[in-house]
Structure formats: C-alpha cells, structure tokens
Amino acid sequence: MTMNNQGRPTSSGSVNENEMSTISGDRGLQHDVSLIFELGRPGMTGVDIPEVQMSDARLGGLRRKGSVGLPGLSEPEVIRHFVRLSQLNYSIDAGLYPLGSCTMKHNPRLNEKMARLPGFADVHPLAPQQTVQGAYEAISELMKWLTTLTGMPAVAMSPKAGAHGELCGLLTIRAAIEARGEKRNRILVPSSAHGTNPATAAVAGFVVDEVPATEDGHVDADALEAKLGPDVAAIMLTNPNTCGLFEPRIKEMADAVHAAGAYFYCDGANFNAIAGRVRPGDLGVDAMHINLHKTFSTPHGGGGPGAGPVVLSDRLAAYAPLPLLVHDGNEFRMIEHADEATDGAKPFGRMCAFHGQMGMFSRALTYMMSHGADGIRQASEDAVLSANYILASLKDVMSAPFGEQPCMHEALFDDSFLEGTGVTTLDFAKAMIDEGYHPMTMYFPLVVHGAMLIEPTESESKESLDRFIHVLRTMALEAKAGQTARFEGAPRLAPRRRLDETAAARKPMLRWKPKDLPQAAE
Amino acid sequence: MRYLPLTKDDRAAMLDRIGVDSIDRLFRDVPHSAVVQRNVFDLPDTQGELAIERQLTKMAGKSKSAGSLPFFCGAGAYKHHVPSAVDHLIQRSEFLTSYTPYQPEIAQGTLQYLFEFQTQVALLTGMEVANASLYDGSTATAEGVLMAQRITKRPKAILSGGLHPHYAETVETVAGLSGTVTRSPVTPGKAEDIIALIDDQTACVVVQSPDVFGLIRNLKPIADAAHAKGALLIAVVTEIVSLGLIEPPGAQGADIVAAEGQSLGVGLNFGGPYVGLFATREKYLRNMPGRLAGETADAAGKRGYVLTLSTREQHIRREKATSNICTNSGLCCLAFTIHLSLLGEEGFLRLARANHARASALADRLADIKGVELLTSSFFNEFTLKLPKTAASVVDELAEKGIIAGVPASRLLPHDKEARDLLIVAATETNTDEDCDALVHALSGAVA
Amino acid sequence: MSEVRFTDQHEWVRLDGDTATIGITKHAAEQLGDVVFVEVPEAGRKVGAGGEAAVVESVKAASDVYAPVGGEVTEGNAALADEPAKVNADPEGDGWFFKLKGVNKAEFDKLMTKAQYDEFVKGL
C-alpha cells in the first residue's frame, strides 16, 4: 500500500476534569451552547411576517404536505445563541494566526462599510445594465489594480475562490492549446504543491506528473525541464513556493516551458510576499489566480467566501471565460454570450452564474485604495521582514530545514528538533492553543516531516512578534529538556479538549435528527 | 490608511537581528530584471478613510439599488428582507475574522453553526445529508453532475430546458470534460418531455423547479423514470424560499439537490458571494464534494464538532479528490442559518405564503393588460409574461421611468426567437402595493 | 498447509491451495493510525500483481492497497464496512481485506517470507 508517513493520532484519549464544578455547567463567561434545534417552541418566530390569504390553485398540486421541522425562536433567543457560539471561536481580531499559506492579515472595517453601499450590495446581476454602472465601475477599477500590480494585460473576474481560479486558468490553457490544434494532456505539478493544484488538474481533464523538490527546498528545475515534451500542457508552480522560498530559477523554468509550447500557471496564494515589488508578468507567468481573501484582506469568515480572479498573459487573454466587462466609450457593459464577444475574444464558456464575487471586489478595492501602491509594497516588505525575524529568532532552538537562506513571507520548520522528546508537531501545536495562539499550519507542505509553516503577515506589531517568539522558544526548549507536561493532552484551556476525529469519521453524524427518527449510523 | 504596525525603528531592529542591512537583501533570489520600483505602477498612493469613502460612495451612487425603486428581478437571485440581527451578528469579530475550523478546539462556534446549517438544508430539501456549502447554486449543480457520473460510471448528463442558462453553461464547462451534456428543448411555461431522452448511458437528469421561467415542475415521474434506467435525478432550486410552500425534492425522489441559498440572509450582492446548498442520500455520502461538519465528543466526554470525512477532499486525496474545492461560503452560510433561525417554522412558512400571494395577485393584474399573456400556470413567486413587443425594450423603457420590471428572457437566451417577447417577473414580500401599482400602470402604457 | 508472504508495499498474502487472503501488515496499520474506512473490491473483479485493489483510510490519509499477486476477487471483507477498527485490532487476521482465486504460485513464491519482511521493516 502507499505509505503515508504523516500518520498521527486522531482519537481523543480521555481525561478527568478536576476543575471546579458549577451547577449550571457554564463556567463564568464560557457558556455551553445547545443546538438551535434543541431550543425554541412551536409557533414562535423572530421575524414579523403577517399572515396572508392564499390559494393553492397555482401550485400545480405540489403544495408542501409535511412540516419542515425547524425550531421557532424569538430574536433575543437567536441573538444569544449565536453570540454564545461566537465566543467559542478564535479570530484574527483576537490574536495572531501564524497560518502559513493563509495570509491571516487584519480585516479592515472600512472594507465592510464600503461593501454595504447599496449601489454595490443591493443591485441585481441581471438588472438593466445601464442601471448598475456604479458597480461595473468598481469592478473595472479593481481589474486595473490587479492587472497593473501583476504586469499582465487581462484578468478573468468570475472565479469564486482560489481553487475555482486554478480551474479557470487551466481551462483557459486548454482552450488555447485546442485553438492551436494540438493535444496536450500532461500537467507538471511540484510535490510541494497545495492539494488544490493536482485536484484541479484532474478535474480539468489532465494527467498529473509530479516534479520533485531539491534538498534546498526549491522545485528541481532540471527535473522539470527534463519532463517537458510535446504532450505537456502546463506547469503549475507556486512562487514564492510552499516552503516559503522564492524560486531562483523561475525565469529559466518559464522560458523552458514556453519553448516547449506549454504554459506557466502560477498559484498566487503567496502573492503577499511580492505584491508591489515583483510583477508575475515579468517572470513569464501566463495565468495566476489571486486570492482576494489572502493578499487583499477580504475576511476569512470561518472558511469563506473567497474570490479568485485570474490574471492572464497575452498568450491566454483571448480565451478568458464569460462574462467580459467592456467599456464602449459611453458606458460599461457585460458581455454574457460568446457571439457578442469583440476584439478577438474567444471565451471558453462560463465558470459560474452571473459575474463574480462583487462583495469581495468592493472590499479588496477598498483595501487597495487604502494602502496605495506604496502601501502594498510596504506591506509585502513587512510581511517578509516579520517572517525572517521569526526565522532568525527561532532557528537555533527549532529546526528550519532551509534556515540558512532567507525565507519570504513564511518560515518553514520541521519536527527534527522534537526527535526523541516524545512530543510531535501535533502536540506542539495543541500546546500553542493553551498559550492563546492559533497553531501554525501543520503537516504542510508534505516535503518535510512534521512541517510547521509560520506566516505572521505584516499586521503584527513588533511586541506581538516578540511575545510569540518568546513563547515558542520556551516551548521548544522545554520539550528538548524533557519537560513535556504542557504538551500531554493539550489543549487543556480551550472550550474543548482534543476531539475524537476517529469516531467522527467511523460513524458520521452530520445532522441533528428529531428523537423519533433513527439516528445516523450509530 | 495603511494597516502596518511596524515603525521605522522596529524595522531597523528586526533587520539587525536577521543580520542583513536592508530589506532588499531578503529579496535576493528575485531576478534583478524582475524587481520593480514603486513608480512603475500607474496607481494612486495611500489614501485615508474619508477620501476613499467619498470616492466609493460617489461611484456606488451611479447604480440604482433595488431597494430604491419598484423592483421585480429574479431569474436566480431574489430580493428578500434580511432582518437586522443577521448583519449585526455576522460582523462579530469571532465570525467575520476567524478561519476555516481546522483546529476544532478553538472553532466550535464555526463548526456548530455549520452543523446547524447542514441540518437546516437537509430539512428544507427533504434529503438525508447536506454539506457545509459550495460556492453557489450553479457550481453546486456542476458538482452534482460530476458526482452522478462518478456514482453511475456513466458519461451522459441531460439538462432540462427549464434549467437556468447560466447553470447549464457552468455544467457544460466542467462536466463536458468527463462526459457529454445534452440539453432538452426550452419550452417556456410548459414541461418538456425530458423522460424520453433518458437512456442507459444517462448518469443523471438535471431538472430545476421552479424553473427559470418560474414554472413548478413535477419531479416524481422524472425521478421514477431515471431510476428505472439506473440514472440519478438532480433537482435544482434557485429560490430556496419556494420550499416553504412546495413539496421538497427529497419527497419527490431526487438523489441529489443543488440549490442556491442566496434568498436567506445573503442579499443580492450583484451576483456574489452567494451560498451553494448541496444535499444527497446517505448512501452517496463518500462521493459528496465539499466540507462536512460532524458531531463527536472530546476527551472529557463533552459534545463537540469537527470537520470530517476529509479524505474525500483535495488536501488529502489530491488528484483523486471528489472535487478541487477548498474554500466554502462560510459567512454566507452563517447568514443563512441565522436568518432561518429567526424565521423558524412559522415564519418560514408565512414568508413563502406571502411571496406566492404577492406574485399571484400581481400576475392576475398583469395578465389583465391587453396584449399581455401569462405563460406559467403554476409558479411560486416568479412567472413569465408574453408581451406584444420585445421584452428588453419594455424593460429599458420602464427603467427610464424608474421601475425595474424584471428580467427579459432574451438576456439569458439571446438566440431564442420565442424568448424575445418574454419577461420574467419576480415578486416577493419586499414589493409593496405601490410598487405593483406602478408596474401595472407603466406596463400598460408601454404595451398599448 | 497455508503459508504467508509479504510485499515491500506492506501487504501480506496467505495462500490456501489457489485461494489467497490479503491484508495490510501490522507495521502498516500502526503507521496509518486509526482506520476509519476501507474500500474493498467487488467479487468478480480481476486484479494483476501490483495493481490497485483496495483503499484504506485513516482520518488524515487515504492509501492505496495493491494486490501482491494476480487473480480474481471472490470476496471483499464485508465486516470492515461496519467495523473498520478490525484493521487496527487484528490486521493480519480478522482485518483481512479481500480474497482472490486463480492465484499463480510462482508469483507468490517471489514474495518475502516473514523473516525477510521483518528485516526489511527494521531497515526502514
């Protein structure tokens, strides 16, 4: 069988809580929260909608027969429920999130205010085009920022997230290749790539060919160049790469790829390291998605929504998907059908309904205007500076596999410094929770063992960084000195102890069920 | 305004610890020819909040917002009233600025609301299990087709002519790579004979109800016919409030439901972000794309929630994943969950009835106008009218008068001759008597 | 008299006549962690030596299991559907994955004996 050497415990073990007990079960500001379905009373509602007279005649005989089964609560009860839930969450507003690859920077509140302007938020995507010019103008402005910062001539705005953008980029490449009358079905992806890269390549109908990494954490450019051939459609690289390093041979690789008739897709997840200093267009990139929810501060919202517009080179611009925003000299217009396309545009189709994540566009545009080109450049420099500061401050007590060279906006450590201590990357991370920190990205990238990828971003003050460094140094030294008490059974101070992921996967319970229905596979 | 806490002194001290004399040394791997100076960018420098507010408020002012005039657009996105508590709650720091719940011990807030969301979606659609959302209804439909192709190991997807054309195009973009996509004829106001197209190469039949013209479709016969040939029925719902009044797809035999949840909590947002709902039968669970929140217990025996069945997903399965999706619709799920929690059973059913009553009364009045014909005999809150002239020109004329009359079908089907005279009109609980009077009056004038 | 052989992909195979029973080794099960799901092949499927035959999942990983020898599947271990934990509890017994018929003894003889496999694992 294929061996996975990143196996780690996923059951929870069990502990005895020796803490003070309370009558209610709640503890001070920590309230336990029932499921919404366990609350409320029949007939209660928190929204005042008048009853109306209504006939069945126009329902085609398909009027809903049973009840839906929803609980009924008043507004005070609903607000209390969700406020209590919120208090169980860590957030950037509350603390540092050193998650490598995620760029957990501050989410400015001006973004929220601007996104809610009615001319952006309360407009319908199919309203008559002349009535939504303000919203089109905002999209156009954002397109200008994205293409200018990246040095690329065009941008496809409709992808709804980074992975969706990757798909858009690969489909654009596929269209360009078909237009040349060729058949190329192989895509080269580094072993260090984020999982969305090979998954997207497979969805787009390509075969994935893995390129190894060198010992110093870069993509093996020689191996990559050797794999090029007339059946290779594209390479997918991340730059800076997932080890936090800038690929020094990137231009050489891009040139080789182009010479072989293939395209260069760049995963833009790490754009925060170079925005304002380096233009991907100058590196030979043909398509790159930009995670607006990473580099451009739109909020992570507990997992989404995102937005993944894709900048495109001259070689690919013509194949950008529908719809296309154009200005005809008088006003903006969205071209929504292939035969209306002008100027040689040959869109490959549509990625999704309507035309993109307007709510994220207005937020990202606000952020860009707030920073300006000079501020974006400064932000990238501060991001890189902070990551290197952390690397320099920790590499003597923790193990940094590529620590002899500067990193970019994120610093990679592995678990060799924990060897022989009995403490794993997982234990180390869970102990950070007790210290009031969200753990760093763990076990990614896969090219090092027990990876710990730390990305502080430019939003942290020096005090915050120093405190973080101090805590990690102390933890590392304690682990190495055999003082492992704080790691055992961590976390102890969070709203929950370690959770049993094994049981959750063996007997999935994915919804609440009323008592008189059989529970899911118990 | 720049959100940069480091000072000049901080930077100097940090460079000192790192052991380099300038930040440029940290960028030494960047090819010299690719390093650009600030003045290369034809973009403005940093600006303060006040200046930005002025510029963007002026820009936004060039759009006519739906709430500022009589508004009747639907066709996949609907204007409903979102209670104030929703927007207030989703802006709490712990919801707005938290990340994907990969560390469940400090993300129980997110995980529990996702579990509640999954339950709500299953209840609304009448299905056994739902995921923690996809991007939107159109990509959810595409994912459903890919899933049906995997399950049945067959290549063909048949799309009903009543499926929203944007959704159909989205399906063609991805599903066309792994199989074939057939569209059945577009028959506004009538149910086309899609059953005749099902054969033993069919992986799935995709039927939207209410369809893009507003017509309520009877799914059960289609489900039965599909099952008889070993195919799956994918039911698509673009107006989720309709499930407060119409038999849910699960009760009619659907195997997969792909829906748009935008109507609850999310707002129009000019097309995005929205929230894709996805539900299926338990036996297909491991084939389902997207994140899943599952119930479990912690080491002290307390109930808690975790992301589960992750081996379906890209970060583990990589090229063999059920989908490439990573991000979900997070905050939009939360808005949906809160809105539906505020409505509750009573409120949700009343909301659905109020929508149908409003639309039905309006349809009667519009059908009374000479030359105007109501095509959809059964509908929820959206119906299609046949006008005596091109609908697009009527919409433009009424827009000049400050009324957004609906979506001309030609916007979605530009090559369909029959569609040219068709106007798709949606009426919700947000439309007042005055709005409806204005539309009736203006439309009468425009078609006279 | 049944004999057990091992592969360098950490599968074991027990031959009784020309029927083989196949599973993953104790070492593999330990590396994998808690097994949560197993996908076994259906009866009638033909697999070649070294071909992908099954999938075993822990919470954080999914691993392909290869057929050590070629043959036709007669049975997948249905008990694993309800109790994947058997793979952890008794990987080389109750936690078997699938059975093959029509197995080629020559292919079987090429594989490692227990002693050889134990040596191999020590060297990893």
Nearest partner of B132 among B121, B142, B141, judged by Cα: B121
**Closest Cβ–Cβ partner in A6, A443, A502 for C34:** A502
Per-residue pLDDT at A284 exceeds 70: yes
C61 touching chain A per CB within 8 A: yes
A493 touching chain B per CB within 8 A: no
Per-residue pLDDT at C1 exceeds 90: no
Nearest partner of C31 among C6, C55, C53, C61, judged by Cα: C61
Q: pLDDT, tens digit, for every residue of C99-110? A: 999 988 888 999
Distance (Å, whole) CA B267 – CA A124:
9
Count chain A–chain C contacts defined by CB atoms under 8 A: 58
Q: Is A495:C25 a contact under the CB 8 Å cutoff? A: no
DSSP string covering A111-122: HHHHHT-HHHHS
Q: pLDDT, tens digit, for every residue of C42-64? A: 999 999 998 999 999 988 788 88
The per-residue pLDDT for A517 is 53
> Chain B interface, mutation test: which of A369, A376, A408, most B Cβ atoms within 10 Å?
A369
Check B57 against A117: CB less than 8 A apart: yes
The per-residue pLDDT for B149 is 95
Check A276 against B341: CB less than 8 A apart: no
Distance (Å, whole) CA B415 – CA B399:
23
Exposure class string for B55-90: b at 16+ Cβ within 10 A, else e: bbeebbebbbbbeeebbbbbbbbbbbebbebbeebb
The per-residue pLDDT for A522 is 33
Chain B residues closer than 8 Å to A362 by CB = 56
Selected residue with higher pLDDT from A515 and B345: B345
Q: How many residues does chain C have?
A: 124
Chain C residues closer than 8 Å to B286 by CB = 37
B314 touching chain C per CB within 8 A: no
Chains that touch C (3 or more CB pairs under 8 A): A, B
> Distance (Å) from the C-alpha of residue C57 to the closest C-alpha of chain B?
7
> Chain C interface, mutation test: which of B311, B313, B318, most C Cβ atoms within 10 Å?
B311
Distance (Å, whole) CA A110 – CA A128:
29
Chain B residues closer than 8 Å to C37 by CB = 286, 311
The per-residue pLDDT for A134 is 98
Chain A residues closer than 8 Å to B42 by CB = 148
> Chain A interface, mutation test: which of C60, C65, C82, C117, most A Cβ atoms within 10 Å?
C60
Residue in chain B closest to A358 (alpha carbons) equals: B272
Whether residue B408 has a cis bond before it, omega within 30° of 0: no
Chain C residues closer than 8 Å to A8 by CB = 33, 60
A260 touching chain B per CB within 8 A: no
For residue B132 the two structure tokens come to: 């923690």
Check C37 against B311: CB less than 8 A apart: yes
DSSP string covering B206-229: EEESS-TT-BPP--HHHHHHHHHT
Q: Flag whether the pTM goes above 0.90.
A: yes
Q: Which of residues 323-342 of B touch A (CB under 8 A)?
A: 323-334, 337-338, 340-342
For residue B269 the two structure tokens come to: 């947002």
Position B324: which residue type? N
Distance (Å, whole) CA B318 – CA A163:
12
**Closest Cβ–Cβ partner in B14, B87, B363 for A389:** B14
> Distance (Å) from the C-alpha of residue C78 to the closest C-alpha of chain B?
16
Q: What does each of the 448 residues of chain B score in pLDDT, given as a tens digit?
A: 789 999 999 999 999 999 999 999 999 999 988 889 878 899 999 999 999 999 999 999 999 999 999 999 999 999 999 999 999 999 999 999 999 999 999 999 999 999 999 999 999 999 999 999 999 999 999 999 999 999 999 999 999 999 999 999 999 998 888 889 999 999 999 999 999 999 999 999 999 999 999 999 999 999 999 999 999 999 999 999 999 999 999 999 999 999 999 999 999 999 999 999 999 999 999 899 999 999 999 999 999 999 999 877 767 777 677 677 777 899 999 999 999 999 999 999 999 999 999 999 999 999 999 999 999 999 999 999 999 999 999 999 999 999 999 999 999 999 999 999 999 999 999 999 999 999 999 999 999 8
The per-residue pLDDT for B245 is 98
Strands A441-442 and A452-454, by their bridges, are: antiparallel
C81 touching chain B per CB within 8 A: no
Chain A residues closer than 8 Å to B285 by CB = 508, 510
What lies within 8 Å, CB to CB, of C121 at 6+ separation is C27
Distance (Å, whole) CA C10 – CA C23:
9
Is this prediction's ipTM beyond 0.95?
Answer: yes
Alpha-helix runs per DSSP H in A415-519: 425-434, 462-480, 501-506
The per-residue pLDDT for A515 is 74
Chain B residues closer than 8 Å to A309 by CB = none
The per-residue pLDDT for C77 is 95
Check B316 against C37: CB less than 8 A apart: no
> Chain C interface, mutation test: which of B316, B318, B319, most C Cβ atoms within 10 Å?
B316
φ/ψ (deg, to 5) at C75: -160, 135
Per-residue pLDDT at A340 exceeds 60: yes
For residue A496 the two structure tokens come to: 């929950």
**Closest Cβ–Cβ partner in B286, B316, B320 for C61:** B316
For residue C35 the two structure tokens come to: 């097994």
Distance (Å, whole) CA B142 – CA B322:
12
C38 touching chain A per CB within 8 A: no
Per-residue pLDDT at A521 exceeds 50: no
Nearest partner of B276 among B294, B262, B255, B292, judged by Cα: B262
Report the percent of chain A where pLDDT is more than 70: 97
What lies within 8 Å, CB to CB, of C122 at 6+ separation is none
> Chain C interface, mutation test: which of A1, A10, A442, A498, most C Cβ atoms within 10 Å?
A1
Chain B residues closer than 8 Å to A504 by CB = 294-296, 306, 308
Name the band, by pLDDT with cuts 50, 70 and 90, for residue A519: very low
> Distance (Å) from the C-alpha of residue C59 to the closest C-alpha of chain A?
6
A508 touching chain C per CB within 8 A: no
Q: Is A18:B303 a contact under the CB 8 Å cutoff? A: no
Name the band, by pLDDT with cuts 50, 70 and 90, for residue A18: low
Query: Rounded to a whole number, what is the largest CA-CA distance in chain B?
Result: 83
Q: What fold characterizes domain C3-112?
A: OB fold (Dihydrolipoamide Acetyltransferase, E2P) (2.40.50)
Distance (Å, whole) CA A145 – CA A367:
11
- Beta strands across the sheet bearing A232-238: A154-156, A310-312, A287-289, A263-267, A232-238, A186-190, A207-211
A195 touching chain C per CB within 8 A: no
Check B26 against A385: CB less than 8 A apart: yes
Check A1 against C34: CB less than 8 A apart: no
